[in-house]
Amino acid sequence: MADLFKMGIGSQVHYIPLYRHPYYEGLGYQAGLCPNSERFYEEEMCLPMHPHMTDADVDGAHIRTLLLTLFFRYFPELIEGGHLYIAQPPLFKMTKGKDIRYAFTDAERNAILKEWGVEDQGVENVDEPEEDTGEATEEGEETEKVEKETKKKAPRVSLQRYKGLGEMNADQLWDTTMDPESRTMLQVTMDDVERADAVFTTLMGSEVAPRRKFIQTHAKTVKNLDV
């Protein structure tokens, strides 16, 4: 029996087969899924690669996990056939004079800053402007004067942390993420189907208890924690 998707408008609730949901139909057409059915035809795929792209931050990673769950449960042929890819957009845009770099991780950002010989006080976060209270004091004016002198001596770097793909201009998105000559695409592979199924069931399943137990067990060993 096909999985049912709950759709509601006002007080009316309808259950339809998941493969007839508009998003699923569009995705299925791209992926080679026969319309109005759950059968997959590899030869009907629009493209041999099926890339998807989310924000570079932790929220984007969460959305990517949800998408991977969908692909694993309902489009496993995409993974098994090596057709599923994850695009890698940058997390930072860094500018020093006419030199523009893109960093995909905090480690890359720090390496570029080190290469440029810039310390934290020489970095200007362009997406976090300072609040102007409109008030001025002698001490404040003196501090501002010292800061300006320091800025003149230190190389200035403009650092923008992308909150989402929508903050990027079309040419930036093309140059960093979509251009076949320079983009980074990670192929989604699956070596152990049973283990993958166990992980998705534990972390993305409907049962809360296994997920809570997993978090409690591994809480002290987590590495990439964004708070």
Asked if 85 contacts 94 with a C-beta cutoff of 8 angstroms, the reply is no
pLDDT confidence tier of residue 88, bands split at 50, 70 and 90: very high
Give the whole-angstrom CA distance, residue 95 versus residue 80. 41
- List pLDDT tens digits, range 147-204: 555 555 555 788 988 878 888 889 989 989 999 998 999 999 999 999 999 999 999 9
- List pLDDT tens digits, range 132-153: 444 545 554 554 554 555 555 5
Q: Kindly tell me if the per-residue pLDDT of 70 is higher than 90.
A: no
Residue 134 has which token pair? 């409109």
β-sheet bridge partners, residue 103: 92
Measure Cα distances from 83 to 26, 67, 123 in Å: 17, 14, 41
Global pTM reads 0.68
What pairing do the DSSP bridges indicate for beta strands 99-103 and 92-96? antiparallel
pLDDT value of residue 132: 45
The mean pLDDT of 202-219, rounded to a whole number, is: 91
The answer to which of 34-43, 72-81, 101-110, 209-218 has the lowest mean pLDDT is 34-43
The end-to-end CA distance of the chain, in Å, is 41
Which stretches of 69-199 are assigned E, i.e. beta strand?
A: 84-87, 92-96, 99-103, 123-125, 157-161, 185-187
Give the whole-angstrom CA distance, residue 19 versus residue 27. 10
Residue 79 has which token pair? 């993974």
The mean pLDDT of 9-25, rounded to a whole number, is: 54
Contacts from 28-31 at CB under 8 Å and sequence distance 24+?
28/75, 31/75, 31/78, 31/83
